[in-house]
């Protein structure tokens, strides 16, 4: 088994509205300071009950997108000329009506709505993010999954000529991620097409990415070109790279430490201290029933 870098896939979008809250929050510090703060366990002086949406600039210049580079501060530059039009998404597998959708048709067909999500990242980061997009369930209903379909497999575009990170043999490309079918059909599961009321940028996963707010950020597969309904559990890129560190379910279970760091607290970007990590990232009321018969200390 290969030893993977300690960097984690971080969701790439934050919001600029409600400026009165942002102005009252602590100023966003540089990335080096953020990394240093991740080691702190200071949970004092946190704004109780306030979810401050993190500034836009922090996300368009500091990204996890290994297809371009593992250097978070270089993704924006390396993805600047990434081609996002034309773009199609193939949806098939165990379905009655397989289809290939052009991105512009998806934008016309499905109502775009804004959803503000808390998102938790491995290694102790958390963010408050408003996505613009549409329900994955609506898309899957269009193709009519068969009774044999149990999982949904997602695949990122494979373009090493534009995505230099894909020339590395360290990972198994293209990037693959998966959900159980009932997770995919949950109302919270979003196909994101924009952030901050703007079209999503290449470094953020343009033109289409997944957002699953109760799971770790590495579930947020970007630049999707293929969605398959399958019978067997997919093996994701991170499961293949380090199965003892990255499980299929990717739930925020604070009682299960990562082999290399604790999951019990997190640092909300823009805050000086740390806060307690909540089960399912605070979405337990909405999603805990999906896992009532599953041992999340094993299926993490």
pLDDT tens-place string over residues 252-273: 788 888 888 888 998 887 788 8
For position 133, what pLDDT does the model report? 97
The per-residue pLDDT for range 203-225, each reduced to its tens digit, is: 999 999 999 999 988 899 999 99
Among residues 220, 203, 171, which one has the least CA distance to residue 81? 203
Please provide the distance, in angstroms rounded to a whole number, between the alpha carbons at the two ends of the chain. 19
- d(CA 52, CA 129) in angstroms, rounded, equals 9
Element (H, E) at 287: helix 284-287
- Neighbouring residues of 238: CB distance < 8 A, sequence distance ≥ 6: 4, 9, 218, 245, 246
For the segment 117-135, the average pLDDT, to the nearest whole number, is 83
- Which range scores top for mean pLDDT: 32-46, 131-145, 239-253? 131-145
Contact 214, 287 (CB under 8 A): yes
Q: What percent of the chain has pLDDT over 90?
A: 57
- Split at pLDDT 50, 70, 90, the class of 227 is very high
For position 50, what pLDDT does the model report? 53
- d(CA 131, CA 133) in angstroms, rounded, equals 6
- Which range scores top for mean pLDDT: 12-16, 18-22, 143-147, 240-244? 143-147
Task: Report cis status (omega within 30 of 0) of the bond before 194.
Answer: no
199: which strand partners?
Answer: 194
Contact 237, 9 (CB under 8 A): no
**Cα torsion 288, 291, 295, 297: sign:** negative
For the segment 268-280, the average pLDDT, to the nearest whole number, is 86
The per-residue pLDDT for range 26-81, each reduced to its tens digit, is: 333 333 333 323 333 343 344 445 577 877 887 788 788 999 999 988 999 999 99
Q: Which of 18-32, 161-175, 273-287 has the lowest mean pLDDT?
A: 18-32
Asked whether the predicted pLDDT for residue 139 surpasses 80, the reply is: yes
Element (H, E) at 113: strand 113-121
For position 4, what pLDDT does the model report? 40
What CATH class is the domain 19-291?
alpha beta
Q: Which residue has the higher pLDDT, 86 or 246?
A: 86
CA distances (Å), origin 141, targets 200, 223, 228: 24, 21, 13
- Neighbouring residues of 71: CB distance < 8 A, sequence distance ≥ 6: none
CA 163 to chain centre: 19
For position 217, what pLDDT does the model report? 84
Site of tokens 């922090």:
58
Asked whether the predicted pLDDT for residue 18 surpasses 70, the reply is: no
Q: Which residues of 216-236 are buried (b: 16+ CB within 10 A; e: fewer)?
A: bbbbbbbbbbbbbbbeeebeb
The per-residue pLDDT for range 185-194, each reduced to its tens digit, is: 999 999 999 9
- d(CA 192, CA 282) in angstroms, rounded, equals 20
- Neighbouring residues of 20: CB distance < 8 A, sequence distance ≥ 6: none
Q: Tokens representing 243?
A: 């199965």
Q: What percent of the chain has pLDDT over 70?
A: 83
Q: Which residue has the higher pLDDT, 226 or 44?
A: 226
Asked whether the predicted pLDDT for residue 120 surpasses 50, the reply is: yes
- d(CA 181, CA 90) in angstroms, rounded, equals 17
For position 59, what pLDDT does the model report? 74
């Amino acid at each position: 088994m290969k030893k993977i870098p300690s960097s984690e896939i971080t969701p790439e979008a934050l919001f600029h509205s409600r400026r009165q809250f942002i102005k009252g929050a602590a100023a966003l510090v540089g990335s080096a300071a953020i990394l240093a703060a991740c080691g702190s366990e200071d949970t004092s002086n946190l704004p109780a009950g306030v979810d401050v949406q993190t500034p836009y600039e922090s996300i368009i210049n500091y990204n996890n997108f290994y297809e371009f580079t593992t250097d978070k501060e270089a993704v924006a530059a390396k993805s600047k000329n990434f081609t996002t039009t034309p773009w199609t998404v193939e949806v098939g597998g165990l379905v009655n009506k397989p289809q290939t959708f052009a991105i512009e048709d998806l934008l016309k067909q499905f109502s775009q709505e804004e959803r503000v999500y808390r998102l938790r990242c491995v290694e102790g980061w958390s963010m408050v993010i408003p996505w613009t997009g549409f329900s994955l369930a609506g898309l899957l209903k269009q193709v009519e999954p068969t009774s044999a379909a149990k999982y949904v497999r997602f695949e990122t575009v494979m373009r090493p000529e534009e995505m230099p990170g894909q020339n590395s043999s360290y990972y198994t490309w293209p990037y693959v991620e998966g959900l159980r079918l009932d997770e995919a059909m949950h109302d919270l599961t979003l196909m994101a097409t924009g952030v901050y009321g703007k079209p999503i940028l290449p470094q953020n996963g343009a033109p289409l990415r997944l957002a699953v707010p109760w799971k770790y950020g590495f579930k947020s597969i970007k630049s999707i070109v293929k969605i398959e309904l399958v019978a067997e559990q997919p093996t994701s890129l991170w499961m293949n790279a380090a199965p003892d560190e990255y499980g299929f379910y990717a739930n925020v279970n604070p009682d299960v430490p990562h082999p290399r760091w604790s999951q019990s607290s997190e640092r909300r970007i823009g805050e000086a201290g740390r806060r307690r990590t909540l089960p399912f990232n605070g979405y337990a009321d909405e999603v805990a029933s999906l896992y009532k018969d599953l041992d999340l200390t094993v299926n993490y």
